Chain A
């Protein structure tokens, strides 16, 4: 087959909803796009543990603390599933980590915002995990097998994340005036960054069209964002909290909520590294990686020593 035939055969498979697997032929750009997207996703899961980790030791009850720990542990698992999926494309874990630590690879900008109060943990579960779920449910149908399978596993674990966050918000919203204020303040700060999680507008999204053709994505950024707004408005009503957008209004004709313009300057600014916590997050990852180096080395040395010992013992047994 010629390159062109390979390409056509590949696209036919994608169109026929046949999953692409690691050893199948795939266009170089498809492989690159996947590595970029999956690793970015993996980094987001890992960096995403930092803002929440900030509150483990200060959770208001043992119940909340256990839940938060379990949730954050899940996120570590999500990072692992995704790194593994990326590795099937021929990039090593070390390269992936290196790209994150050197700042070459991006992660979701949402995690560059600080968690100032306990209500932020509620808002993150409710809004940030909620937005992530919207994206991830779509990705369970991605054309690349290992990515889609990782997403299925992630989505199963993800639904408790949103509920535990919403429950925190619910408790605060039904609490004292100070607690209600705290909940509203968290919603005010997290609402817009959550909408930004879906990425630039379709017209400004460089990779969107090709990704849709390859069925890596099946919905555009704007479609997903709209879907998120539509379901979240009612959830805010139940909480009795106000979404901080004066332009938010039901549009009978469209059958969707209209909402205000996102501050794209802020979005690009945070992407470029100038968000409130970009430096802090990266420094924390670098420190964790460096502090853990001796553990990784020691574990490897110990494994090698054990292997040696086993070999020697079996040689002795044979000689006897």
Chain B
């Protein structure tokens, strides 16, 4: 028999917030995945919306490549507002 595939579950805890990964579960299809996610991940009002994605559709960055991948952002301090000196007279900016 073919086993139920694995799904990743994302929950929006209240309106206005992002969906956040909370865990995974097995289910025969998307509909069942949502129902099961409701039962295991929102029994105490933890969510107002659920996304499920079959795990095999997720592509993750390779942790071994994380240095070259994220290094370029490290030396660009000028992307942050604190990099700039303003005269004290300028009150709101």
Contacts and interface: CB of A to CB of B under 8 A. Distances in A.
Contacts of B23: 81, 84, 149-150, 153
Interface residues of A, number: 30
Interface stretch (B25-33, B67-75, B78-86): B25-33
Interface in A292-307: 293, 296-297, 299-300, 302-304, 306-307
A237 interface: no
Interface in A76-99: 76-77, 80-81, 84, 87, 92-94
A299 B63 contact: no
B24 A300 contact: no
B56 interface: no
Main secondary structure of the interface of A (DSSP, over half): helix
A80 B1 CA distance: 21
B6 A87 contact: yes
Contact of B4 (A70, A76, A293, A299): A299
A90 to B, nearest CB: 12
B90 interface: no
A17 interface: no
A94 B3 contact: yes
A205 interface: no
Contact of B1 (A21, A25, A153, A296): A296
Given A84-B23, A296-B1, A307 B6 contact: no
A23 B60 contact: yes
Interface string B42-79: 01100000000000000010111000000000000000
Contacts of B64: 25
Interface residues of B, number: 21
Interface in B1-44: 1-4, 6, 22-26, 28-29, 32, 39-40, 43-44
Contacts of B63: 21, 23-25
B26 A307 contact: no
Contacts of B24: 84, 87
A307 B43 contact: no
A196 B35 CA distance: 38
Contacts of A70: 43
Interface in A130-186: 149-150, 153, 157
Interface in A301-317: 302-304, 306-307
A77 B43 contact: yes
B80 to A, nearest CB: 24
A149 B39 CA distance: 18
A299 B39 CA distance: 17
Nearest to B26: A93
A210 interface: no
A149 B47 CA distance: 18
Given A73-B43, A74-B43, A299-B4, A307 B29 contact: yes
B68 to A, nearest CB: 15
A303 B25 contact: no
Nearest to A80: B40
Contact of B32 (A23, A24, A73, A299): A299
A307 B63 CA distance: 34
Contacts of A23: 60, 62-63
27 contacts: A25-B64, A76-B40, A77-B40, A80-B40, A81-B23, A81-B40, A84-B23, A84-B24, A87-B6, A92-B3, A93-B3, A93-B26, A149-B23, A153-B23, A157-B44, A293-B1, A296-B4, A296-B28, A299-B4, A299-B32, A300-B1, A300-B28, A302-B28, A303-B28, A303-B29, A303-B32, A307-B29
Interface of B: 1-4, 6, 22-26, 28-29, 32, 39-40, 43-44, 60, 62-64
